[in-house]
Structure 1
Amino acid sequence: MTDDHLMTFMNTAESAGGAERHASWTELFFDLVVVAGVLQLSHLLHEGPTAADLALYVLLYLAFWIAWVCFTVYGNVEGDRAWTPGLLLAMLGLAVMVAAVPGIRGTRHYLAFVAAYVFLRWLSSRFWRRGRVVMDWPVAQMGLGVLPWIVSLWVDAPARYWLWALGIGFDLLAILANAGGHMLRGAQEWAERLVRKNGDHGRPVIEAAYADVPHLMERLSLYVIIVLGEGVIQITTVAADTAWDVHLAAAALGSFALLSGLWSMSLLNGFGGIPKTGRGDLPVRLALSLHCLTTCALASVAAGLGLALAHPHDPAANGVRWLLCAGLMVYFGVSVLAAAVSGARWQSVLGWALPCLLLLSALGFFARHLGAGWLIWALATAVGWQLVFAPGKRGSLREHASA
């Protein structure tokens, strides 16, 4: 028996007749939960933030992002065949996770968060037919990453948080290790065993499902716009409650310049919301992995801007300064990795990335007496350097739109 008899490859872009797809009304409505999620998660950083606060923020953010992507990929692959009531139920589950964030250190809230996360992972796996392997997002059909979350229901903090980190680590490793290929071979072997046992009658069909790349990149880009929009909300909300003077004006204008630069890097000169300066587009599984880092960094920068603007006359607190600097360092680090993977020359990459990383390190260590406005404008300058000197920049989204 040949693999052709056992396996049917499916590419949703081809199955749709090559027609260009855009986010549907259902998908746009589903993405509204991201607005609430990013806003609530930012509250974890409003009390300092300390290293423990930031670590918990990253854990909860990645859990929220993974749950969101599970259903985003489902809608992307299935298209018009996606089960709308299931997506609405997933939206409700994500809303429960979001509502549990402010009191996550309390018993009831953390139980609700874990229960909602485990339920969403179970629900997303039930949407896929047996014998169908999602190549670009194998996490949708893998339960190993959920097990530590289940065990954490009987474990106290801080060990509970280490279990959460372990579960997320399993999922991210599965993406990077191309677990979809291993799952596909396992499904083929399962089908071959059934055929040897039962003969050709009832031969199972193994499907390899692939993402509609332009549509998925559009969804990821919309997510980035939501995160950057939260940054604008942070600025305007704080400005409305702060005395208006030249210090606030300078800090607010610097914040807007910073967010505008990040928007340009991520979308006009990026791929799926990922800053990129190479020649080719990124593999889907790598784009998804980098997207979680990029958006987490952008969300932390947005929260940091709100905290810095609350005291425009004073130097930013140590935790706030490091939140801003570290967030941008992660963001620039992603851009370096994406550029290298997509074909940029290392000499060019280091030429535009290294000065920015050195500046951010210097600001983090030595700028404790620098005023909030000066700090924000220094960060905006680093982003401006990236925009001006990044090699081979191009507008990937516009190219997709005109393709």
Structure 2
Amino acid sequence: MAKSLWQPPRLRTAEENEEERRATWLELFYDLIFVAAIAEVSHYLNEHVSLAGFFGYVLLFVPIWWSWVGATFYATRFDTDDLGHRLLTLLQMIAIAVLAVNVHHGLGESSVGFALSYVTVRAILIVQYLVAGYHIPAARGLTTWYATGFSIAAAIWLVSAFLPLPWRFAVWLLAFIIDFGTPLTAGKLVAQIPPSFSHIPERLGLFTIIVLGEAVIAVVRGVAKLEWGASSAIVAVLGMIVAFSLWWIYFDSVDGSPLRAMGVGRMGIGLTWLYSHLPLAIGIAAAGVGVEHIIISSKTGIALPATQRWLICSAVAICLISLAAIHLITCTLGTTRRRKILAAYRVGSAAFIMVIAIAGGALSSIAVIGLVAVACAVQVVLALIATHHAQPEPSC
């Protein structure tokens, strides 16, 4: 079906069929560029397995994730899928591709290109919000708030391109605070025009699938670098168990009930749910890199190097703590007490895994990944037990 050249933005969340909203083909195609971006930032971590390297990986990961969130939350409210929107989406995809190209040296010689490409992504989003506010008076308060906050953050990113290292990165952190704080301080405006309660959980689930896919690719890549053997095969299988367990305990409970809190102005709950997906994505992708390194180390027959042990343990622990936060506020998982129990399971397992990181200096690669896999698999079993016959809490 031919698309009209241009349609004014409309308020999608006010439509009667909003409950039937699903990801569009354009959104799914848009996600593909983030497959490349996640692959590049994971490759950066793969070559910088250290504490400093991990912090650098996080610093590069956040703009990628926030770019995706920005486009997704705009689309859930105002997407028209006309020719104009498609062309702006194409421009965003090109800017994200440039962002991905600059990731490899994004904290060094390519940091200017990284910053400018991110500014371009945000500038397109700001224009979209201004146009939406112009055509939809009911949404003008929200769109103006978002456009203002995001513009300030984008301007700071632009200024950072002219600053020397490492001051450039300090300015990035300031911009992040403004970017993330803009939705947090939009309380009543978001309550008037909340995001789609069906569309956003699906979209975040799809992004989680992207990072899980990168983790699986990392496992395959690790095995492909070696001659096939029993040790590498065992580590690969255990790595897949970790990924599958994380998939299970996330997607068995993925739900937009915390997001509904935004509809009554309780931004803290809704944004805690949303922002918890950031460390979850960071942890999943990092865990894939960790498994890849463990597969290679499994051929040496000696204790797993400390940097690699800390990487896999910290990454999986971050995932479990993020899931604890998500499950604690997901009302469909049952009563407050039941959700606290589930969260305690996740935190307890994360603590056990960190003990391995601290005290597992003599453990082999198979022993480390084996214990991590068991800790994750136990979460699946406990989740099945805890959620059996669970009923949503009416107060939610």
Question: Which interval holds the TM-score relative to the shorter structure?
Answer: 0.7 to 0.9
Mapped pair 1:306 → 2:292:
yes
Distance 1:350 1:212 in 2: 26
Mapped pair 1:344 → 2:336:
yes
> Alignment partner of 2:20: what SS?
coil
| 8 Å contact kept, 1:148–1:163 | yes
- 1:290 corresponds to: 276
- 1:383 corresponds to: 376
Deviation at 1:374, TM superposition (A): 1.6
Distance change >3 Å, CA 366–CA 137, structure 1 → 2:
farther
| 8 Å contact kept, 1:265–1:387 | yes
Which residue identity does 2:87 align to in structure 1?
P
Deviation at 1:339, TM superposition (A): 2.8
Deviation at 1:294, TM superposition (A): 1.1
| 8 Å contact kept, 1:134–1:140 | no
Mapped pair 1:359 → 2:352:
yes
| 8 Å contact kept, 1:12–1:211 | no
User: Cα RMSD between the aligned structures?
Assistant: 2.9
Which residue identity does 1:100 align to in structure 2?
N
> Alignment partner of 2:361: what SS?
coil
Mapped pair 1:159 → 2:167:
yes
1:330-370 CA-partner distances (Å, limit 9, x unpaired)? 22212222233335327624652343122112111111221
Distance 1:17 1:138 in 2: 27
The correspondence of residues 189-338 of structure 1 with structure 2, limited to 5 A, is 208-271=192-255, 284-313=270-299, 314-338=302-326
Distance 1:315 1:133 in 2: 60
- 2:111 corresponds to: 110
Distance change >3 Å, CA 105–CA 358, structure 1 → 2:
closer
Unaligned runs of 5+ in 1: 1-9, 186-206, 275-281
Distance 2:187 2:67 in 1: 22
Distance 1:337 1:259 in 2: 19
TM-score, normalized by length of structure 1? 0.80
Which residue identity does 1:229 align to in structure 2?
G
Deviation at 1:48, TM superposition (A): 4.3
State the identity %: 23
- 1:96 corresponds to: 98
| 8 Å contact kept, 1:352–1:389 | yes
How many pairs align? Answer: 355
Unaligned runs of 5+ in 2: 1-9, 259-267
- 1:37 corresponds to: 37
Distance change >3 Å, CA 162–CA 81, structure 1 → 2:
same
Distance 1:350 1:124 in 2: 35
- 1:146 corresponds to: 154
Distance 1:137 1:69 in 2: 18
Distance change >3 Å, CA 114–CA 234, structure 1 → 2:
same
Distance change >3 Å, CA 75–CA 239, structure 1 → 2:
same
Distance 2:141 2:288 in 1: 33
| 8 Å contact kept, 1:134–1:209 | no
Which residue identity does 2:41 align to in structure 1?
L
Which one scores higher on RCO, CA 8 angstroms, separation ≥ 6? 1
> Alignment partner of 2:336: what SS?
coil
